[in-house]
Amino acid sequence: MEISAFYETKTAHFGVVSTDWLSQAQSAISIPTLSFPIPIQPFSVIDEFNTWRNQPHLAEAVAAIRALAAVIRSSQATTMMQLEIELKKASDSLKSWDTTSISLTAGCDLFMRYVTRTSALEYEDFNSAKSRLIERAEKFGEISYKARKVIAMLSQDFIFDGCTILVHGFSRVVLEVLKLAAQNKKLFRVFCTEGRPDRTGLRLSNELAKLDVPVKIVIDSAVAYSMDEVDMVFVGADGVVESGGIINMMGTYQTALVAKSMNKPVYVAAESYKFARLYPLDQKDLAPALRPVDFGVPIPSKVEVECSARDYTPPQYLTLLFTDLGVLTPSVVSDELIQLYL
């Protein structure tokens, strides 16, 4: 089974300088050495992407956007055609790094559309055209980086004192929403689903506890049992599709179904670089994204295990989407997608 890189745990790498290495370096100072030209390492968009991706608070799609901006800065191209071909190859390399990541693909596609769409470039000399591209690339990177804070501000009017919020899975933008509400001295409590099999809800509950937000962990099968105590549901999204529905962590669909049946609003917090040109008709239309499932006991080889990491929630089960483009109803998403990809 090939596991989706999008759902693998990221491991921090630390470089260690030993005392033996230092002593060897110091003793080598007195030894005359021959000077050789230092070879210039060719630019690698994947290496640049990994450098940005290792920053813990930076989204994968934003890391890709930063890496593509670096491609323009380091390019040795002498014509716009060469530069656009180079950008296209870099974008394709990033998208193939993990073909299951919807936000990565959408972020690369939106970068290409945003940065290269201007007829004025055809009438400028190449150097000024390249400078214009770099400016647009940096601007797009900054807009994407600040998206979470914009979304957090837009959502504050919907969180009221005394409310109970159910959250499914770990979303950095949802955490930003709740963090700002706590900083604004709003009084609320949060129910975190456990988020099996990787238990992302435990991570979110730990972060909320640090903010002194009252939090309760709810096992995934107890969502319906707990829903009558809930005032609203907040979820993130791996991708927002053309129908206005979302693709997100497995269990989002059933949570939204329960909330809808009990007249509880379901709010989605998602950055605009997650808007994807996809139109799934049902769960089987999604490209497979798999993750390992550990039941704690051996499973017979004849028993099939569902390892899908995400599901599709249709728009009729969602109330509002909080994005850096504004607060949207699901029906407006297709219009916004057209504007983004024009």
The mean-pLDDT minimum among 117-126, 155-164, 211-220 falls in 117-126
Domain boundary among 113, 146, 179: 146
pLDDT for 12 equals 40
Q: Rounded to whole angstroms, how far apart are CA atoms 332 and 337? A: 9
Instruction: Answer whether residue 222 is part of any domain.
Output: yes
pLDDT for 9 equals 39
pLDDT for 19 equals 45
Q: How confident is the model at residue 3 (pLDDT cuts 50, 70, 90)?
A: low
Where in the sequence is the domain holding 260, given as residue range(s)?
159-341
Encode pLDDT of 310-325 as tens digits: 899 999 999 999 998 8
Domain boundary among 82, 116, 146: 146
pLDDT for 336 equals 80
The mean-pLDDT minimum among 11-25, 92-106, 183-197, 208-222 falls in 11-25
**CATH code, domain with 170:** 3.40.50.10470
Instruction: Answer whether residue 63 is part of any domain.
Output: yes
pLDDT for 205 equals 93
Domain boundary among 119, 146, 173: 146
Residues 202 and 269 in one domain: yes
Instruction: Answer whether residue 220 is part of any domain.
Output: yes
What is the mean pLDDT of the segment spanning 127-133? 78
Q: What tokens were used for 272?
A: 């605009």
On average, the pLDDT of the chain sits at 82
Encode pLDDT of 183-202 as tens digits: 999 999 999 999 887 788 88
Instruction: Answer whether residue 243 is part of any domain.
Output: yes
Instruction: Answer whether residue 240 is part of any domain.
Output: yes
Encode pLDDT of 13-44 as tens digits: 334 444 443 444 444 444 444 444 444 567 78
Instruction: Answer whether residue 10 is part of any domain.
Output: no
Q: How confident is the model at residue 119 (pLDDT cuts 50, 70, 90)?
A: very low
**CATH code, domain with 125:** 1.20.120.420
Residues 206 and 58 in one domain: no
Residues 56 and 190 in one domain: no
Residues 196 and 106 in one domain: no
Q: Looking at mean pLDDT, say which of 17-21, 57-61, 177-181, 273-277 comes out highest.
A: 177-181
Give the count of domains, the chain: 2
Q: What is the 3-state secondary structure of the chain? A: CCCCHHHCCCCCCCCCCCHHHHHHHHHHHHCCCCCCCCCCCCCCHHHHHHHHHCCCCCCHHHHHHHHHHHHHHHCCCCCHHHHHHHHHHHHHHHHHHCCCCHHHHHHHHHHHHHHHCCHHHHHCCHHHHHHHHHHHHHHHHHHHHCHHHHHHHHHHHHCCCCEEEEECCCCHHHHHHHHHHHHCCCCEEEEEECCCCCCHHHHHHHHHHHCCCCEEEECHHHHHHHHHHCCEEEECCCEECCCCCEEEECCHHHHHHHHHHCCCCEEEECCHHHECCCCCCCHHHCCCCECCCCCCCCCCCCCCCCCECEEEECHHHCCEEEECCEEECHHHHHHHHHHHHC
